[in-house]
Amino acid sequence: MLTEEEREWASSLLPKLSDKFAAERDRVGSHIPYIAEDGVYKDFKDISDPAWWTNGFWPGILWQMFRATGDEAYVKPARDVEDTLTKVIDTDFMGLHHDVGFMWLLSAVADYRLTGDERAKNRGLAAATLLAGRFNPAGRFIRAWNLPESEGWAIIDSMMNIQILFWASDVTGDPRFADVARMHADTLLKAVVRPDGSCNHIVDLDLETGELKNNPGGQGYESGSSWTRGQSWAVYGYALAARHSGQKRYLDAAKRVANYFCANVALNDDKALIDFRAPAEPVYWDALANVITACGLLEIVDQVPQLERPFYVRWAVRLLKAVDKNWCDWDPARDGLVQMCSGCYENDADREVPMMYADYYFLEAVLRLNGKAARLW
């Protein structure tokens, strides 16, 4: 499916990724990094915030590298982080919310998938049960966060988290986990994904009916705008839901959002803004949206007819090449690979900075192009 030039480019990144992450592994070890400051990880979340939602991505990188290289040195720090996350259930239960899928899919569930470790399987099932317990059966949605005002809130990010529910049904034979995932996905399909392929980030739903009441602005520019990382969660999340459930409506949704995303980044040299509907000035970028969407596009490729595949492959490569060309720091002596990542449009502190979970998605996408990725979702 790749052209010769694309294949050579994707292959050329493998030794660079190996050098980068082996060096980071040796420096970071069993700590949990998040944002690099001037090429150095300083704030480790296992110390400052063990319940932080991105804490599964570092072990995800380690497990992907173990799968790609066979190097056992990646296993111990990955399992050490898994132990840290398991303690959070006892020490900070109320700090956990809809993002437990991100945390445990890439740590304990990854461990079980790659090694068959039964203790890791049980940890993953505990996380899936926690997520299923957030389900509102009347409104048919999984509640976001634990804020007093968020009883009726659901967010597009959750489409990535519900994949742990599909996994739980697969390993236990209990259909209830997957049922919750499908009902939630259907509610968000109506309330979050707009007809043109753009998405809301947060939706406020009626607790009894699940009908849309309001859409707070969230991490994009404002209510009704188009937060690009939200688009990327929708592309990848609905593509994964389609694979796990076999439901065509989810694949159609992923393709609709993907088409909207690609049409918009084409206006900016294949680089994603923080929000496609923000004012023209100032210009703020988010490399995260590029790399997550690239993974989603490659997931779509596996589910569409041969004639449709070139479009999604070409665009995945274009998005990754834009990041490689403009926003990568390949120096193994410096922490942080993907630069220019943004958490929120209005937040200076985490706007256009290197974020470790972008490194995860860039790694996963490049490994997929080379046939070396572990399927961790």
The secondary structure of 294-363, three-state, reads HHHHHHHHCCCCHHHHHHHHHHHHHHHHHHHHHHECCCCCCCCCECCECCCCCCCCCCCECEHHHHHHHH
pLDDT the model gives residue 1: 84
Whether 90 is in a domain gets the answer: yes
| Structural domain total, the chain | 1
Whether 375 is in a domain gets the answer: no
Instruction: Collect the ranges in the chain with pLDDT lower than 70.
Output: none
Q: Is 157 a catalytic residue?
A: yes
pLDDT the model gives residue 328: 98
Q: Which of 46, 90, 117, 157 is catalytic?
A: 157
Whether 202 is in a domain gets the answer: yes
Q: Which CATH number is 91's domain given?
A: 1.50.10.10
Whether 377 is in a domain gets the answer: no
157 is in an annotated binding site: yes
**Main-chain dihedrals φ then ψ at residue 279, nearest 5 degrees:** -60, 160
Q: Which of 38, 71, 83, 99 is catalytic?
A: 99
Tens digit of each residue's pLDDT (9 = 90 or more) over 292-344: 999 999 999 999 999 999 999 999 999 999 999 999 999 999 999 999 999 99
229 is in an annotated binding site: yes
pLDDT the model gives residue 323: 99
Q: What would the two tokens of residue 278 be?
A: 């923000």
pLDDT the model gives residue 256: 98
User: How far is Cα 88 from Cα 82, in angstroms, rounded to an integer?
Assistant: 10
Q: What is the pTM of this model?
A: 0.98
Whether 270 is in a domain gets the answer: yes
Tens digit of each residue's pLDDT (9 = 90 or more) over 259-268: 999 999 999 9
pLDDT the model gives residue 158: 98
Whether 376 is in a domain gets the answer: no
* Domain limits for position 192: 4-369
